[in-house]
């Protein structure tokens, strides 16, 4: 009796496990199907023409492209709570990757100040970090043609500070900026052209202390693009002041005099036009930056 | 990418202005660290109640965390302390009165103290116990024997390790740029952003660091020779 009891229990167990085993794939199939279902719905909404047509060309292995970006730019290229790299630039690069079958992008993160050197030394193939187009950079690097955002640089001061309106008001004052940034360029150009200098305080952005440096009076101001202010100063302790110092197009940065880079840039331009036309870019901008800065 | 040797020279000259900053951070943090390290090493060797354990905790915590973390903790923590309880108690202090380099001095001294504590401890333990006992036997107090007999020999034994730590601090001082202190490496980034020749600027920084390190090595060798004279019977004091 005992033996039979044991056997029946075993048989019962076996039946249960095999039943489960039989059901499992079906279940997971269903799960993944619903998962991909929702994904593809967003994808197909986003990539109507560009992606679907060239599905068959996948046979030739896509070219591996290393994309350099950073982790210290909130909402643009940063690590979320789970440590996943995301943000406006990052998601845009992924969207472009989706639409370019001939390329496969791999994102790598660098300290911002080392991105340009990494590009030159072929550690990365292009850089995506809200790079602003200016003459100095154009002389040394290749930009793609289709901007994916537009910046206006402003002077940013403590909200109680009404004495500063223009760069001239900053003469002899301390202005915080990140070394190698486009804002540093504006300040350096000003100092090169004027006898009364602005006292530039450089940092590497590693401490995220812009707000405290300005509110404690260590420095008097900083320069930043309009949309970055709510990102670095969520509590509204600072304000923009005066007229826009410069407005610039935001582009990806490539190696100059390199045919492969030119080809990549052209391919990305084409994809960007499509991403703009179907509204995906505006959507990304609103999601990450709080407003549409792409027009 | 092509190298522009001329710019290495230009960068090198521009980097010279940052040399005093780098040297100051290295010197201050190494000296304060040595003082801190000696005190904590003695507290640990003589197993002073509470203070000895506190010293051990200090050494293991600091050696267990990165130097950049120390800097950030001091940079953000000290103002909380100063602007909170201290200013609240009516003291006329504000964190904005501390110059930026002050945070680097304090944080890196704390870092260096933990590492040098082990260096000094090894040095003291390298001195034969008999030396201490001999000192006591001729009527010195423990303090006198330490000051006159043990520590000089311990320092001599520590010189190679000490110079190692100082060189490490020289190179690590570039972290100070995180709190807007422009050291050699930071100056290299700044000068490079005028014409985007980063590699040349970093190369210039490397040359400069290497030169300074060579000088430090020479200095350490000189000190070592002078301080170990007793060992070869050169001085009879």
CATH 3.40.190.10 positions along chain A are 58-150+251-289, 151-248
The pair phi, psi for residue A216, each rounded to 5°, is: -85, 0
**Which pair of tokens denotes residue B156?**
């001599």
Q: pLDDT digits over A171-211, tens only?
A: 889 999 988 788 888 898 898 888 888 999 998 877 778 88
Which helix (DSSP H) or strand (DSSP E) does residue A251 occupy? strand A238-255
Taking each helix axis as running N to C, give the angle between helix B198-227 and helix B19-45, from 0 to 180 degrees, rounded to the nearest 10.
40
At A67 the pLDDT is 93
Considering only residues 218 to 237 of chain A, which have any Cβ-Cβ distance to chain B shorter than 8 Å? 218
Give the residue carrying structure tokens 């990304």: A284
Q: Which residue of B has its CA nearest to A180?
A: B193
% of chain A exceeding 90 in pLDDT: 22
> How far is the alpha carbon of A186 from chain B, nearest alpha carbon, in Å?
11
Taking the C-alpha atoms of residue B226 and residue B29, their distance in angstroms, rounded to an integer, is: 24
Enumerate the β-bridge partners of residue A35.
Answer: none
**Which pair of tokens denotes residue A122?**
């072929």
Q: How many other CB atoms are found less than 10 A from the CB of residue B71? A: 25
At B232 the pLDDT is 65
Question: Which residues touch B50 (CB under 8 Å, ≥6 apart)?
Answer: none
At A30 the pLDDT is 38
Least confident window among A113-117, A257-261, B63-67, B140-144 = A113-117
Taking the C-alpha atoms of residue A25 and residue A29, their distance in angstroms, rounded to an integer, is: 6
Q: Which residue of B has its CA nearest to A255?
A: B1
The DSSP line for A215-244 is HTTSSSEEEEEGGGHHHH-TT--EEEEEEE
> How far is the alpha carbon of B189 from chain A, nearest alpha carbon, in Å?
6
Taking the C-alpha atoms of residue B36 and residue B113, their distance in angstroms, rounded to an integer, is: 5
Q: pLDDT digits over A46-61, tens only?
A: 434 444 444 444 456 7
Strand order in the sheet with A77-79: A72-73, A77-79, A85-86
Chain A residues within an 8 Å CB radius of B178: 203-204, 206-207
Q: pLDDT digits over B177-234, tens only?
A: 998 899 999 999 888 876 778 888 999 999 999 999 999 999 999 998 888 777 665 5
Q: How many other CB atoms are found less than 10 A from the CB of residue A136? A: 15
- How big is the CA angle at A8 (ends A7 and A14), to the nearest 5 degrees? 90
Chain A residues within an 8 Å CB radius of B193: 179-180, 184-185, 188
Q: CB–CB of B199 and A203 under 8 A?
A: no
More confident residue, B125 or A290: B125
Residue A3 pLDDT level (bands cut at 50, 70, 90): low
Question: Which residues touch B75 (CB under 8 Å, ≥6 apart)?
Answer: A207, A209, B103, B107, B178, B179
pLDDT at A21 over 60: no
Instruction: Find the CB nearest B178 among A204, A212, A217.
Output: A204
At A270 the pLDDT is 92
Residue A108 pLDDT level (bands cut at 50, 70, 90): very high
ipTM of the complex: 0.73
Taking the C-alpha atoms of residue B121 and residue A278, their distance in angstroms, rounded to an integer, is: 69
More confident residue, A295 or A192: A192
At A60 the pLDDT is 67
pLDDT average, residue stretch B78-93? 79
More confident residue, A2 or A230: A230
Domains and CATH numbers, chain B: 20-182 (1.10.3720.10)
At B67 the pLDDT is 93
Residue A27 pLDDT level (bands cut at 50, 70, 90): very low
Q: Is A180 on the interface with B (CB under 8 A)?
A: yes
Which helix (DSSP H) or strand (DSSP E) does residue A175 occupy? strand A174-178
At A57 the pLDDT is 46
Q: CB–CB of B193 and A204 under 8 A?
A: no
**Which pair of tokens denotes residue A150?**
């537009």
Enumerate the β-bridge partners of residue A248.
Answer: A151
Closest CA to B109 of B11, B40, B205, B12: B40
Instruction: Find the CB nearest A203 among B79, B178, B202.
Output: B178
Chain B residues within an 8 Å CB radius of A185: 193
Q: pLDDT digits over B36-70, tens only?
A: 999 999 999 999 999 999 999 999 999 999 999 99
pLDDT at B72 over 80: yes
At B116 the pLDDT is 95
Chain A residues within an 8 Å CB radius of B75: 207, 209
Q: Is A199 on the interface with B (CB under 8 A)?
A: no
Residue A288 pLDDT level (bands cut at 50, 70, 90): confident
Enumerate the β-bridge partners of residue A251.
Answer: A131
pLDDT at A36 over 50: no
pLDDT at A6 over 70: no
Q: Is the domain covering A58-150+251-289 a CATH 3.40.190.10 domain? A: yes
| Alpha-carbon Rg for chain A in angstroms | 26
Q: CB–CB of B180 and A213 under 8 A?
A: yes
Q: CB–CB of A212 and B192 under 8 A?
A: no
Distances (CA, A) of B65 to A33, B74, B144, B156, B168: 46, 13, 36, 29, 16
More confident residue, B150 or A74: B150
Which helix (DSSP H) or strand (DSSP E) does residue A53 occupy? helix A50-53
Closest CA to A217 of A229, A201, A230: A201
More confident residue, A182 or A266: A266
Do the bridges between strand A103-109 and strand A63-69 make them parallel or antiparallel, or are there none, so unpaired? parallel
Round the average pLDDT of chain A to a whole number and report it: 79
Q: How many CA atoms lie within 13 A of A171 on its CB side?
A: 10
> How far is the alpha carbon of A140 from chain B, nearest alpha carbon, in Å?
7
**Which pair of tokens denotes residue A85?**
């790299």
Give me the CATH topology for the region A151-248: D-Maltodextrin-Binding Protein; domain 2 (3.40.190)
């Amino acid at each position: 009796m005992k033996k039979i009891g044991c056997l029946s229990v075993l048989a019962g167990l076996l039946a249960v496990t095999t039943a489960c085993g039989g059901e499992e794939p079906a279940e997971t199939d269903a799960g993944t199907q619903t998962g991909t279902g929702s994904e593809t719905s967003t994808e197909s909404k986003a990539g109507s023409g560009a992606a679907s047509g060239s599905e068959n060309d996948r046979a030739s292995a896509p070219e591996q492209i290393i994309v350099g970006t950073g982790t210290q730019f909130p909402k643009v290229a940063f690590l979320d709570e789970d440590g996943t790299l995301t943000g406006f630039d990052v998601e845009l690069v992924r969207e472009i990757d989706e639409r370019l079958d001939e390329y496969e992008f791999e994102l790598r993160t660098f300290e911002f100040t080392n991105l340009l050197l990494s590009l030159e030394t072929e550690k990365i193939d292009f850089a995506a970090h809200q790079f602003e187009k200016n003459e100095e950079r154009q002389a040394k690097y290749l930009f793609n043609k289709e901007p994916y955002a537009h910046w206006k640089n402003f002077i940013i001061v403590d909200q109680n500070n009404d004495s500063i309106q223009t760069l001239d008001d900053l003469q002899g004052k301390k202005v915080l900026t990140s070394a190698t940034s486009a804002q540093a360029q504006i300040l350096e150009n000003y100092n090169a052209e004027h006898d009364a200098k602005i006292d530039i305080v450089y940092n590497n952005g590693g401490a995220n202390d812009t707000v405290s440096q300005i509110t404690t009076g260590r420095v008097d101001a900083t320069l930043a693009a309009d949309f970055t202010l709510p990102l670095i100063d969520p509590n509204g302790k600072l304000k923009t002041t005066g007229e826009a110092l410069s407005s610039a197009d935001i582009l990806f940065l490539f190696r100059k005099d390199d045919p492969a880079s030119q080809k990549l840039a052209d391919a990305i331009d084409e994809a960007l036009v499509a991403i703009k036309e179907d509204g995906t870019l505006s959507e990304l901008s609103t999601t990450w930056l709080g407003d549409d800065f792409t027009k | 990418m092509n190298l522009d040797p001329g710019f290495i020279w230009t960068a090198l000259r521009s980097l010279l202005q940052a040399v005093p900053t780098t040297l100051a951070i290295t010197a201050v943090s190494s000296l304060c660290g040595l003082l801190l390290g000696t005190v904590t090493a003695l507290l640990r060797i003589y197993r002073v109640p509470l203070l000895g354990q506190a010293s051990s905790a200090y050494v293991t915590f600091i050696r267990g965390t990165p130097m950049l973390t120390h800097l950030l903790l001091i940079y953000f923590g000290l103002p909380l302390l100063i602007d909170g309880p201290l200013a609240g108690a009516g003291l006329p202090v504000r964190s904005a009165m501390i110059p930026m380099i002050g945070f680097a001095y304090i944080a890196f001294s704390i870092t260096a103290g933990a590492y040098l504590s082990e260096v000094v401890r090894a040095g003291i333990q390298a001195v034969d116990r008999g030396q201490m006992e001999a000192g006591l036997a001729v009527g010195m107090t423990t303090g006198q024997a330490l000051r006159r007999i043990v520590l000089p020999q311990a320092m001599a034994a520590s010189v190679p390790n000490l110079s190692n730590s100082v060189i490490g601090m020289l190179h690590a001082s570039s972290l100070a740029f995180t709190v807007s202190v422009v050291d050699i490496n930071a100056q290299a980034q700044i000068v490079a952003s005028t014409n985007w020749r980063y590699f040349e600027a970093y190369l210039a920084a490397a040359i400069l660091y290497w030169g300074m390190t060579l000088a430090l090595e020479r200095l350490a060798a000189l000190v070592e020779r002078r301080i170990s004279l007793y060992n070869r019977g050169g001085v009879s004091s």
